[in-house]
Amino acid sequence: MSDQAPYLSGLVLTGRRVVVVGGGGVAQRRLPRLLETGAQIDVISPAITPTIEGLLTNPDLRWIERGYADGDLAGAWYVVVATDDAAVNDQVSAEAEERRIFCVRSDDRSRATAWTPASGQHDQVTIGVLGGGDHRRSAAVRDAILEELREGALGARDSLAKQPGVYLVGGGPGDPDLITVRGRRLLAEADVVVADRLAPQPLLEELHSDVELIDAAKLPRGRSAQQEEINRILVDRALQGKVVVRLKGGDPYVFGRGFEEALACAEAGVTWTVVPGITSSIAVPAVAGIPVTHRGVTHEFTVVSGHIPPGHPDSLINWEALAQLRGTLVLLMAVENLPVIASTLISAGKDPGTPAAAIADGTLPGQQQVTSNLAGIAEAMSAAGVGAPAIVVIGNVVDVASGLATAGAAPAEGS
């Protein structure tokens, strides 16, 4: 087959039989998108990868546990040949040609009747790129187009169907690159953005000039008054038929009061959607080189809000019980109350020598980190000038991290 210009067409495979011959890495890469089409897929192979085996819970996927045999393409609409046996590949493509079934070959595109494009999707727009056999180039062009669509540079903001309502978007721990793909797309389509102080600020600079940007930190003082006004704004703008993005740091539901906003929307009859974010409680220690769990060291980690000190009548935390845990404690919003928290844990039986670390401005260029032990972490933070916002990690995983650094394998800055 000559390298003539291909004719791109979107195949509607829902409910139609697709055959994949081979159960290795190529088949593994092709199957997820094929499954998204709703096709009835038969994988014919004596063996399959563990990942493909995990996909067999999908009722649209069936594994025929043997090699390919003549007649296996009966009733098929589309065939993917993905074995490392050239003779088998020739046999399959010959039967596909005879039955007039379009056939993709992973080993020799010149002998195929269809090529798989580098594809991706943004809202209702599907991108397919064929690079004349240069797969890296195809993928790079696809990614560039998708990025432009997500940022609105290719008219996504004006031409794509937007769904009015409120979107509670987690912006991640601070680095703008750590927001989810969906979160970034929604920012490109927003009419109104209500942003937290801890939301990734560089993302706000990318907003269209006609987007109404509301800084939640500048709303009426007092937690209750401020939250009430945020709820009012979200509901009001959504009822005007606008796409409203409530951009938060971390994840909307991890000490972010996101569900209070969801309830306010629901009570007002406003459509709302949560877009989870990477929570700083896990991401910030990870970027600092501290795993919150590690095999043989800890089997659990507990995330705790420290904005109310132990002994306060509004506190809902059983600090004495936490002191008995052997796993990792991750404290958020605890800088101001850390001395009394540490003292309370020690008084309740926690070893004062338990390793501890504090990371401020995690994932951002100004990230700072200090390590000490439970008894000394508050003083170490004060001496180093490490303040809020900071994540405090208490547990033996901190020593695991120090061992990594000693070995000269500390994570790269900004990684």
The stretch 389-413 carries a mean pLDDT of: 74
For residue 391, the SS3 value is strand
pLDDT band (50, 70, 90) for residue 403: low
Domain co-membership, 342 together with 369: yes
**Cα–Cα dist 127/149, whole Å:** 10
> Could you give the residue numbers annotated as active site?
196, 218
Domain membership of residue 9 (yes or no) is no
Q: What is the pLDDT of residues 217-232, one digit of tens each?
A: 766 666 666 889 999 9
With tokens 């004719």, the residue in question is 7
251 contacts 218 by C-beta, under 8 angstroms: no
pLDDT number for residue 159: 44
CATH number of the domain encompassing residue 48: 3.40.50.720
Q: What is the pLDDT of residues 296-327, one digit of tens each?
A: 999 999 999 999 999 999 999 999 999 999 99
One-letter amino acid for residue 272 of the chain: W
Quote the Cα angle for 135-137-139, to 5°.
70
83 contacts 21 by C-beta, under 8 angstroms: yes
**Cα–Cα dist 59/273, whole Å:** 28
pLDDT number for residue 197: 84
Domain co-membership, 294 together with 371: yes
What residues form DSSP beta bridges with 393?
330, 357
Q: Which domain holds residue 59?
A: 17-116
Domain membership of residue 273 (yes or no) is yes
Total domains in the fold of the chain: 4
Domain co-membership, 141 together with 238: no
pLDDT number for residue 380: 95
**Cα–Cα dist 157/187, whole Å:** 10
Listed residue (186, 179, 194, 145) closest to 162, CA to CA: 186
Q: Provide the sign of the torsion angle of the four alpha carbons 226, 273, 333, 381, taken in this order.
A: negative
Helix, strand, coil percent content, the chain, rounded in steps of 5: 35, 20, 45
Give the lowest-confidence range in 44-53, 126-135, 182-191. 126-135
The stretch 350-360 carries a mean pLDDT of: 96
Query: Does the pLDDT of residue 412 top 60, yes or no?
Result: no
pLDDT number for residue 160: 45
Global pTM value: 0.71
Domain co-membership, 295 together with 394: yes
Domain membership of residue 414 (yes or no) is no
96 contacts 103 by C-beta, under 8 angstroms: yes
Domain co-membership, 173 together with 185: yes
275 contacts 186 by C-beta, under 8 angstroms: yes
Residues 6+ apart with CB under 8 A from 138: 117, 118, 129, 130, 131
The stretch 379-391 carries a mean pLDDT of: 92
Computed on alpha carbons and rounded to an integer, the radius of gyration of the chain in Å comes to: 27
For residue 225, the SS3 value is helix
pLDDT number for residue 394: 97
pLDDT number for residue 388: 87
236 contacts 270 by C-beta, under 8 angstroms: no
What residues form DSSP beta bridges with 332?
305, 391
pLDDT band (50, 70, 90) for residue 351: very high
Give the lowest-confidence range in 27-41, 98-112, 206-220, 290-304. 206-220
pLDDT number for residue 223: 61
Dihedral pair phi/psi, residue 217, rounded to 5°: -70, -20
Q: What is the pLDDT of residues 93-152, one digit of tens each?
A: 999 999 999 999 988 888 899 988 888 877 678 888 887 777 788 888 888 888 777 666
pLDDT number for residue 1: 46
With tokens 């938060």, the residue in question is 248
Domain membership of residue 415 (yes or no) is no
Domain co-membership, 23 together with 111: yes
